[in-house]
Structure 1
Amino acid sequence: KEIKELLLEYEGLAKPKNAKAISSNQQVQRDDLGEDSKNTVAIYSTNNTAKNTLFSSGVFKLKQGRHLEQNDRGKALIHEAFAQKNNLKIGDRIELNLINTSDKKTKSQKTRFEIVGIFSGKKQEKYTGLSSDFSENTIFSDFETTMQALNLSENERLLSKITLYTETADQLDKAITKTEKLNIDWSKYKIEKNNAAFKDTLESIAGIKNIINLMTYLIIIGGSVVLSLILMLWLRERIYEIGILLSIGASKLQIISQFIIELVLISIPTIISSFILGNLVFSLITKGLSEAEETSSIASSFTNNIFGLDSLAVFMQSYSILITIIILSVIIASMMILVKKPKEILSKIS
């Protein structure tokens, strides 16, 4: 239950039947290859290309269309140079004959993939003498269709890499422990914990949280001082009203309450507009996190919270602070006038 998502990846080779691989000067020359063998492409099969390292690291960038997703069948992404050479566009189909390079020898079948995305970029290339070495001859295909094309059953699937995603960092160690207990020959596999991006993000968030707390305290103190000074000027303009109210028997508490109610009513439109603008600014901040696939789940969680119950709680806390500042400021400003007697206030006016 610790596992939130599984990213399945398989790397292999294929021969395109209705397209030609891009050729270039090879650093490795092989005389044992025929012309047909030279027309090969590299296959990266996965159930989510957006989270593939080549895309999440920025090596490849999606230029047109969309990424491959979990429920895709018979879909593929191709390089823009490959598309240009073969006059291919989104919606076209490319026929591939996948090559089974594993110990499980099966007869693969020709499979047609619909092109749903075109990407650009250049990866670090390893030269083996095949045309599949070049970045331009890289094709991403959906995992399920690729396994079917290789005539492999669900229990015979070929995997180059499995990436496990957990909901929280605390669940990561539990997931690794449970995975290590599986009946698998671990001499052929290696488990790596990749939470560096998660830790960096949490450290950044902790730093931002400290800054926000400091700013909050400064705003409370500064707001109280500034609002008190403004209210002193505001009350001086209403000193005659205060004197009349006191002379007819109104208590100081009633007068202070009246001023507080007036300011609270004035604050309502302001706090509503700040709530809307605050969410807008927050969405722009989380957009940067969302663009990095390693931290997209964190950003998604924040975005969900900011528009949910947590957002309402923060809003009420902020408004409570504002009300506190208003009450303190009114009391401070009013006391300088209300300590005087009504007769003294009215005589001062006259």
Structure 2
Amino acid sequence: ATADLVGASVVKVPGGDDYDAEKEQQFGNTANVIGTNDSSKLNVFTSHTLGMVEGRHLKASDKHMSMVHEDLAKTNGLKVGDTLTLKANPYDADNESHSTATVKTTIVGIFKGDSDRKVSSRAELTSNTVYTDLDTTSTLYQYKAGKEIYQDATFVLDRGVDVEKTMEAAKKLPVDWNNYQITRNDQYTSSMLNAARSVRSMMRGALIGVTISAVIVLSLMLLLWMNDRRQEMGVLVSLGIGKPSLIAQYLTEMILIGLPSLVLGWLCARGAAQWLGTSALRSVNASAAKELSSMGQVGGDLESNMSVRTLDSLTVSIDTTAVLYVSLGLLAVMLVCVAISRIPMLRKSPRSLSELR
């Protein structure tokens, strides 16, 4: 609904007059009123475009309750528990009955958040959006029972349920799909999802590249080290030490060196991983901004802002699973290097092993 504030003023666009005289007279003190039976499930809140500052969300049992933006509350000295009176605007095209009904609502919550894009009028300001229960919007526009007009309905699926299969099943219901459209709810957060996928892809590529490089460098170093100890092995075998015992000794040495190396690597990785994740996110956001600029001007309203939002920050942590995988990988490299360098030597005589090369 579109409603005028009674005894309160909307937030104005800073630095200019956005309405002409006629529009100022008709919509100068008008707020966008959105009725909902559960504000916590609205896209703007689930995507964290908006967040609660004080109070609570609207729920299905509410009647004549409202939530206001912190800027609107500050402009009018409002707080949770105060009343906000709304009057239906007869000039709104959706107000088919030209209702001027007035509803006094109780403020149950104050939210925060705004578009970071330039707005062209006060109607696009998030500050001038008021959320109310469905009874309030129905009373404002004088809808008769069963004749209300709903913009959308959101259906939340259980975790693990296939969205596409559910949508296909829904389309087989006896509904006139010429008048309705069923879509995925994540279309409003597509930019954030794309950013997450891009960062994941970059991190996966970095992981593969670093792993391959590490395996190659580590293998070469171990092979050179083992090959350099050929004479030592020959001397020890000549003294009566069994070759299996020598293999066990070399593996033990590698493990003793590998354990502190893993600890040092984990400490270094904590900082390096966060730096790498932040760099990847910065690159992805820069690419998204460039793509967005080529698409032309995007509005400053909530839905437009939500559709182009990207990830603000990224927290990277090293979990125990990653450490376990690295440890197993390190052990595998050690075993392979020992096998490659020592198995051929086990077939040689102590004298041939002791020869200088």
- TM-score between both structures, scaled by the size of structure 2: 0.60
1:325 CA displacement: 1.5
Whether the 8 Å contact between 1:79 and 1:138 is mirrored in structure 2 is: no
Judge conservation of contact 2:9–2:29 (CA < 8 Å) in 1.
yes
5+ residue gaps in structure 2?
286-304
Q: Match of 1:324? A: 332
Q: Does 1:222 align with 2:217?
A: yes
Q: Which residue of 1 aligns with 2:168?
A: 177
- Whichever residue aligns with residue 159 of structure 1, its letter is Y
Three-state SS of the structure 2 residue aligned to 1:257 is helix
Aligned residues between the structures: 308
Give matches, 1:10-25, under 5 Å: 12-22=1-11, 25=17
- One-letter amino acid of the counterpart of residue 327, structure 2: Y
Q: What's the offset of the Cα at 1:254? A: 1.4
Q: 1:205 to 1:295 in 2, by over 3 A?
A: farther
Map 1:260-275 to 2 at 5 A. 260-271=251-262, 274=265
Tell me how far 1:220 sits from its aligned partner.
Answer: 1.7
User: Which residue is 1:133 aligned to?
Assistant: 123
In 2, Cα distance between equivalents of 1:183 and 1:154: 23
Match of 1:259 in 2: 250
Higher strand share: 1
Structure 1's 31 and 108: CA in aligned 2 closer, same or farther, altered over 3 A?
A: closer
Question: What's the % identity of the aligned pairs?
Answer: 15
What is the rounded CA distance, in whole Å, between the counterparts of 2:75 and 2:241 in structure 1? Answer: 89
Question: Aligned ranges for residues 157-168 of structure 1 at < 5 Å?
Answer: 158-162=149-153
3-state SS of 2:33 partner: strand
- Equivalent positions of 1:135-214 (< 5 A) are 135=125, 137-141=127-131, 145-150=132-137, 158-162=149-153, 171-192=162-183, 194=187, 197=191, 198=193, 202=197, 205-206=200-201, 208-214=203-209
Q: Which moved more, 1:44-53 or 1:172-181?
A: 44-53
2:29 corresponds in structure 1 to 39
Equivalent-residue separation in structure 2 for 1:199 and 1:154 (angstroms)? 42
**Cα displacement string for residues 158-180 of structure 1 (whole angstroms, at most 9, x for unaligned residues):** 53234567789993432322333
TM-score, normalized by length of structure 1? 0.61
- Contact kept? 1:16, 1:94, Cα under 8 Å: no
- d(CA) in 2 for partners of 1:139, 1:118: 11
How many angstroms apart in 1 are the aligned matches of 2:176 and 2:163?
21
Contact 1:49 1:68 (C-alpha < 8 Å) held by counterparts = no
Q: Give the direction of change, closer, same or farther, for the CA distance of 1:269–1:347 in structure 2 (3 Å limit).
A: closer
